[in-house]
């Protein structure tokens, strides 16, 4: 049986609506991920990505269905799950180390101050912020603030890390650097991560699996795309990999056309058995063999 460290089981989200009584954002959504995997969700604005992430975080409740992480149903927020938002959400009156230490001491309440600070420092070093421990958020660049958010999230050794477009507000250069750091850290620590992005290349670089959601209302998970690129991929060389364009085109085609028409065309959509695909370029020798 596949390892379902994260298991989203038939969730729906509905809101009361003036027009017809109920607005269904999505329903009967099933999705699972094994431990240590990096999953990215891609879909158009409003399809319900943040809602799914918030339900996983325990910050929102599904109208139907359950979400299970490491064998336990989610019933509310927990320090087992760390969230990194698009806006850094740091405490402005605390320093860098103060922000990280606050999370650490919330998780391990019996630790003394020295142990908390030493642990917080370890994660500040991990994200390359040593030397800036005593700065306050107002003294930091956008990239540095996001690094503090990452250090804070990782410092509580969460079972899962949830990220909602964490790099989208950053300039391209800083975004690239943080993507590199995130990838290095996730590979080193085996951190299970679920991330939302609108950036196709970001998903191709970071994710093991890419979840494609159709447009709302009544959005569905249409496909799970397995990343065919090697684990040791480098950001600068992505486009040189023979499978890169096949993968990228597949995702772009989905966003441009299939995400809108899926409901009419996929008559036999089975939400519990969503197709798993690994778009790959046709090997040159196979082309030759066929001709
Ligand atoms: N409190 C609410 N009442 C009614 N509808 C809501 C409420 N909160 C969110 N929605 C609707 O739920 C849908 C999904 O919202 P969500 O924020 O999850 O989308 P998203 O996929 O994250 O979009 P984006 O890419 O723009 O961040 C949207 O259509 C939104 O209008
Ligand atoms: Mg969102």
In a domain, 233, yes or no: yes
Question: Considering the entire predicted model, what is its pTM?
Answer: 0.93
* 171 falls within a domain: yes
Q: What is the tally of helices (H) and strands (E) in the chain?
A: 9, 11
What's the sign of the alpha-carbon dihedral 44, 45, 46, 50? positive
Is 28 touching ligand 1 by the criterion CB < 6 Å? no
**Whole-angstrom distance, CA of residue 250 vs CA of residue 254:** 6
Taking the chain, what is the end-to-end CA distance rounded to the nearest angstrom?
40
What are the beta bridge partners of residue 213?
A: 221
Buried/exposed code over 268-283 (b: 16+ C-beta within 10 A; e: otherwise): ebeeeebeeeebebee
What lies within 8 Å, CB to CB, of 228 at 6+ separation is 243, 246, 247, 278, 279, 280
| Residue among 51, 59, 197, 211 whose CB has most ligand 1 atoms within 8 A, to mutate | 51
13 CB within 6 A, ligand 1: no
Sign, CA dihedral 248-189-169-235, equals negative
Examine residue 88 and state whether it is found in any structural domain, yes or no: no
Classify 157 as helix, strand or coil. coil
- DSSP-assigned states of every residue in 204-260: HHH-SEEEEE--SSSB-EEEEEEP-S-TT--GGGGGGSTTHHHHHHHHHHIIIIIHH
Q: What percent of the chain has pLDDT over 70?
A: 96
Q: Which atom of ligand 1 is nearest to the CA of 47?
A: 21
What is d(CA 11, CA 55) in angstroms, rounded to the nearest whole number?
9
**Residue 87 placed within a domain:** no
Q: Is 30 part of a structural domain of the chain?
A: yes
**What are the tokens at 36?**
């240590």
- Whether 126 is covered by a domain: the verdict is no
- The answer to whether residue 142 is domain-embedded is no
- Report the pLDDT value the prediction gives residue 92, as an integer from 0 to 100: 96
| CB distance 40 to 209 below 8 Å | yes
Nearest protein CA to atom 16 of ligand 1, as residue? 48
Domain range for residue 22? 6-80+158-290
Tokens of 175: 């975004």
Q: How far lies 100's CA from each of 105, 133, 145, 214, in Å? A: 9, 10, 12, 37
What residue owns the CA closest to ligand 1's atom 24? 45
Contact by Cβ (8 Å): 99, 91: yes
CATH of the domain at 233: 3.40.50.300
Residue 51 lies in a domain: yes
236: Cα separation from own chain's centroid: 21
Q: How far apart are CA 221 and CA 31, in angstroms?
A: 8
Please work out whether the CB of residue 54 comes within 6 Å of at least one atom of ligand 1. Answer: no
If you ran DSSP here, which 8-state letter would residue 76 be given?
S
Q: Give me the pLDDT at residue 238, please.
A: 93
Beta strands at 81-84 and 276-277: parallel, antiparallel or unpaired: unpaired
Pair of tokens at residue 105: 């001491």
- The total number of structural domains in the chain stands at 1
What residue owns the CA closest to ligand 1's atom 5? 15
Helices (H), the chain: 49-57, 96-107, 113-126, 142-155, 172-189, 200-206, 244-253, 259-265, 284-290
**Closest ligand by atom to 217 CA:** 1
**Ranges of the chain with pLDDT below 50:** 1, 284, 287-291
């Amino acid at each position: 049986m596949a390892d379902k460290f994260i298991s989203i089981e038939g969730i729906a989200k509905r809101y009361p609506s003036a027009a017809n009584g109920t607005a269904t954002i999505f329903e009967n959504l099933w999705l699972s991920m094994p431990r240590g995997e990096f999953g990215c969700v891609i879909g158009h604005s409003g399809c319900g990505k943040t809602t799914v992430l918030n339900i996983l975080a325990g910050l929102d409740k599904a109208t139907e269905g359950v979400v299970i992480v490491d064998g336990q149903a989610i019933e509310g927020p927990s320090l087992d799950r760390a969230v990194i938002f698009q806006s850094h959400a740091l405490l402005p009156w605390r320093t860098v180390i103060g922000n990280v230490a606050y999370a650490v001491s919330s998780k391990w309440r019996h630790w003394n101050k020295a142990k908390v600070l030493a642990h917080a420092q370890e994660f500040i070093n991990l994200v390359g912020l040593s030397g800036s421990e005593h700065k306050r958020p107002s003294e930091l660049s956008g990239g540095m603030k996001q690094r503090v958010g990452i250090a804070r999230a990782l410092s509580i050794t969460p079972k899962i890390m949830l990220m909602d477009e964490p790099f989208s507000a950053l300039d391209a250069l800083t975004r690239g650097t943080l993507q590199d750091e995130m990838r290095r850290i996730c590979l080193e620590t085996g951190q299970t991560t679920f991330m939302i992005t609108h950036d196709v290349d970001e998903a191709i670089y970071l994710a093991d699996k890419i979840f494609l959601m159709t447009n709302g209302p009544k959005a569905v998970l249409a496909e799970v795309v397995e990343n065919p690129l090697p684990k040791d991929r480098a950001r600068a060389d992505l486009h040189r990999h023979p499978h890169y364009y096949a993968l990228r085109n597949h995702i772009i085609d989905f966003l441009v056309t299939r995400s809108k028409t899926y409901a009419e065309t996929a008559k036999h959509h089975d939400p519990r058995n969503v197709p798993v695909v690994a778009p790959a370029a046709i090997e040159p020798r196979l082309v030759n063999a066929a001709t």
